[in-house]
């Protein structure tokens, strides 16, 4: 019967079906074998389908109005609010204190990462943890390769547990809402599968990472002779650091930083003891590399010890850090920083100074500037454009990701996220409505600025999602999805559970090479056709594909966080396959066993 069905489908192939399959095959081939950006590939495929008349404008653009895609876009703003307030960094800083063993730090890292990733976009979560994980590994002389992949995997585990945990869940949810007779996912519905998968994933990582994750040396190591800045920080009155010892405040073993001295009124405390108790208005003089100096600016209760800083027009969160090399003929050469009136001349403040690998033992305002000194400046964004051709500077370089956090809004940001979760989970409003209100509150309460919110939205991801949904629409309308589904039905016969296993395997292979969002969008028409042909409810099939699309463990290109940790962990492609492929299998087995129990494979 299956053979006759396939034969009849092939006989009924139309030009529209052939064009759709041709575009789909071309897109997949281009994504697999070239480095052309996925958004350009899929958008080009959508344009071809629209130009040839396979899709009308309304159907071609259906992805750009899809509720799931719009929810993904707004979630970026919520994530930006948490990032700009330092909410995630506040959690990170408390995790690695007094943690010595590798399994302990893996567990302490993975638990909060999974929990946060269930409600926040995975990318900023992993981005916030990478520096802390790298620092801990460097201090304990442990290879970061033992920690970076577990970090990425933990984010994937958490993202599979809630509707807003990852964009993949929202995409399938949006497509279900547009399917006649179907419903979308409830807020915590995916947790029936996601939590057991996460538990199994945790156990696997803790047991097998010591053997399967090889020691790799990251390509970017901090060298002994790296450029070393001198920076002076002030302990604010009312700071949580006041009354703590240097060691208890976390300032003793800062990676890439050395506490030279403490200036307390007219007294100078050199060779600072870890038991020294910090007082309000202490001036701490550090020496360290660029990234470490930037991290120092983000510690709550410490501010740069320069009066000029607070005379800048822009509020701190709107400013940026820039590295500048002073020319020998600059008017500030030969003067102290205090005498040079840098703010009046350039609208910028000197935060730190580096000089040819030599450590400058002096308070920041008393340093006499020399030609060739490298300055770390805090200023506004137009500074680069205004002074790009200035003879006063030999080089200007923006330091990325260096905006000062809005610590005073941290509690507000967490409260807004909690409110979004409660509203979405209880069904008071739709998830899209809840996240729209949350994003509006992030802007209204100044957790993030409009410009930051606008820049945080990843248009490439949104175009990929919308274009893939458009191609999926063509597969539905032309019947191409039914033709692609026929091999699944032939293989599975009349065994729906076997069909779930096949769907998981194919989606998992697809997501490892073309990204999770594209895989979910392109597999959904096959799911729909399979559901109709078998006469069963679409929900168990949709859940299987959703989990499979997120379960990207065996390549660095299937999931963005896997790619993010590749450099810091010093990984090779084979590391992902060796460590991640068994996890793909475990997720598949868990999903296929649980899905029929929670969502029975009953007639639709």
Which is more confidently placed, 294 or 153?
153
Region for 319 from its dihedrals, namely left if φ exceeds 0, alpha if ψ lies in -120 to 50, beta otherwise? beta
Which is more confidently placed, 306 or 143?
143
User: Are residue 366 and residue 514 in the same domain, yes or no?
Assistant: no
Do the domain assignments include residue 199? yes
User: Are residue 180 and residue 308 in the same domain, yes or no?
Assistant: no
Do the domain assignments include residue 604? no
| Percent over 70 (pLDDT), the chain | 83
DSSP one-letter string for 214-281:
-----S----TT---EEEEEEEPTT-TTTTSBTTTTT-SS-TTEEEEEEEETTEEEES--TTPBP-TT
Average pLDDT, the chain: 80
Please give the pLDDT value at position 250: 77
**Could you report the per-residue pLDDT of 430-482, keeping only the tens digit for each?**
888 988 999 999 999 988 888 888 877 878 778 887 888 788 788 778 877 77
Please give the pLDDT value at position 224: 39
Do the domain assignments include residue 578? yes
Q: For residue 504, give its domain range.
A: 2-64+463-598
User: Are residue 113 and residue 50 in the same domain, yes or no?
Assistant: no
| pLDDT band for position 47 (cuts 50, 70, 90) | very high
User: Are residue 31 and residue 102 in the same domain, yes or no?
Assistant: no
**Could you report the per-residue pLDDT of 493-543, keeping only the tens digit for each?**
667 788 889 889 888 888 887 778 778 888 888 888 888 877 888 999 999
8 Å CB contact between 255 and 139? yes
Please give the pLDDT value at position 204: 96
**Could you report the per-residue pLDDT of 74-84, keeping only the tens digit for each?**
888 888 888 77
Question: Which of 49-58, 153-162, 372-381 is predicted least confidently?
Answer: 372-381
Do the domain assignments include residue 54? yes
Residue 377's SS3 state is strand
User: Are residue 327 and residue 446 in the same domain, yes or no?
Assistant: no
User: Are residue 432 and residue 306 in the same domain, yes or no?
Assistant: no
Do the domain assignments include residue 404? no
Do the domain assignments include residue 296? no
Please give the pLDDT value at position 92: 65
Which is more confidently placed, 580 or 494?
580
The Cα 468–Cα 519 span in angstroms is 9
Q: What is the pTM of this model?
A: 0.67
Do the domain assignments include residue 244? yes
User: Are residue 239 and residue 135 in the same domain, yes or no?
Assistant: no
Q: How many domains, in total, are found in the chain?
A: 3
Question: Does residue 4 surpass a pLDDT of 60?
Answer: no
User: Are residue 328 and residue 344 in the same domain, yes or no?
Assistant: yes
How are beta strands 267-270 and 257-264 bridged, if at all? antiparallel
Helix (H) or strand (E) holding 450: helix 450-456
User: Are residue 240 and residue 357 in the same domain, yes or no?
Assistant: yes
Contacts of 338 (CB under 8 A, 6+ apart): 365, 366
User: Are residue 474 and residue 576 in the same domain, yes or no?
Assistant: yes
Please give the pLDDT value at position 130: 77
Residue 325's SS3 state is strand
User: Are residue 78 and residue 162 in the same domain, yes or no?
Assistant: yes
The Cα 132–Cα 245 span in angstroms is 21
| pLDDT band for position 311 (cuts 50, 70, 90) | very low
User: Are residue 565 and residue 475 in the same domain, yes or no?
Assistant: yes
| pLDDT band for position 15 (cuts 50, 70, 90) | confident
Please give the pLDDT value at position 309: 47
Question: Does residue 1 surpass a pLDDT of 50?
Answer: no
DSSP one-letter string for 508-556:
HHHHHHH-HHHHHHHHHHHHHHHHHHHTB-SHHHHHHHHHHHH---S-S
Do the domain assignments include residue 223? no
Question: Does residue 41 surpass a pLDDT of 80?
Answer: yes
């Amino acid at each position: 019967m299956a053979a006759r069905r396939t034969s009849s489908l092939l006989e009924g192939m139309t030009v529209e079906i052939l064009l759709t399959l041709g575009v789909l095959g071309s897109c997949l081939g281009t994504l697999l074998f070239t480095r052309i950006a996925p958004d350009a590939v899929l958008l080009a495929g959508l344009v071809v389908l629209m130009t040839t008349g396979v899709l009308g404008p309304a159907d071609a653009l259906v992805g750009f109005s899809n509720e799931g895609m719009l929810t993904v876009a707004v979630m970026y703003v919520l994530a930006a609010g948490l990032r700009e307030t330092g909410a995630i960094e506040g959690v990170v800083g408390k995790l690695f204190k007094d943690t010595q063993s590798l399994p302990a730090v893996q567990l302490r890292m993975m638990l909060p990462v999974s929990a946060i990733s269930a409600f926040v976009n995975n990318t900023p979560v992993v981005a916030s943890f990478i520096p802390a994980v790298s620092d801990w590994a460097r201090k304990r002389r442990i290879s970061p390769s033992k920690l970076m992949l577990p970090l990425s995997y933990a984010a994937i585990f958490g993202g599979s547990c809630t509707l807003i945990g990852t964009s993949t869940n929202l995409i399938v949810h949006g497509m279900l809402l547009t399917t006649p007779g179907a419903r979308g996912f409830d807020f915590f519905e995916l947790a029936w599968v996601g939590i057991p998968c996460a538990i199994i994933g945790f156990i696997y990582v803790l047991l097998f990472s010591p053997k399967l994750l090889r020691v790799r040396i990251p390509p970017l190591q901090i060298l002994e002779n790296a450029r070393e800045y001198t920076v002076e920080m002030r302990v604010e009155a009312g700071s949580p650091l006041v009354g703590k010892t240097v060691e208890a405040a976390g300032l003793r073993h800062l990676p890439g930083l050395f506490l030279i001295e403490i200036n307390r009124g007219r007294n100078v405390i050199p060779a600072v003891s870890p038991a020294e108790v910090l007082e309000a208005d202490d001036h701490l003089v550090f020496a360290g590399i660029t990234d470490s100096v930037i991290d120092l600016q983000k510690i709550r209760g410490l501010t740069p010890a320069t009066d000029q800083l607070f005379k800048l027009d822009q509020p701190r969160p709107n400013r940026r850090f820039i590295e500048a090399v002073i020319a020998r003929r600059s008017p500030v050469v030969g003067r102290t920083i205090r005498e040079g009136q840098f703010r009046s001349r350039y609208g910028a403040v000197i935060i730190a100074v580096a000089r040819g690998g030599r450590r400058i033992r002096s308070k920041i305002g008393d340093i006499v500037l020399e030609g060739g000194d490298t300055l770390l400046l805090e200023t506004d964004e137009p500074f680069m454009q205004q002074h790009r051709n200035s003879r006063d500077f030999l080089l200007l370089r923006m330091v990325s990701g260096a905006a000062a956090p809005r610590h005073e809004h941290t509690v507000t940001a967490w409260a807004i996220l909690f409110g979004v979760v409660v509203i979405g989970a209880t069904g008071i409003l739709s998830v899209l409505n809840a996240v729209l209100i949350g994003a509006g509150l992030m802007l209204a309460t100044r957790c993030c600025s409009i410009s930051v919110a606008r820049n945080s939205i990843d248009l490439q991801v949104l175009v990929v999602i919308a274009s893939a949904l458009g191609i999926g629409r063509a597969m539905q309308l032309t019947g191409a999805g039914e033709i692609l589904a026929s091999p699944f039905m032939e293989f599975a016969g009349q065994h729906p559970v076997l069909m779930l296993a096949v769907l998981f395997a194919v989606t998992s292979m697809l997501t490892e090479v073309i990204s999770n969002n594209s895989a979910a969008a392109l597999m959904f028409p096959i799911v729909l056709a399979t559901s109709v042909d078998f006469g069963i409810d679409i929900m168990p099939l949709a859940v299987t594909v959703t989990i499979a699309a997120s379960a990207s463990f065996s390549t660095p290109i299937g999931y963005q966080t896997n790619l993010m940790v590749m450099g810091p962990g010093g990984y090779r492609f084979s590391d992902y396959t060796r460590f991640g492929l068994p996890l793909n299998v475990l997720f598949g087995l868990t999903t296929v066993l649980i899905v029929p129990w929670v969502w029975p494979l009953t007639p639709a």
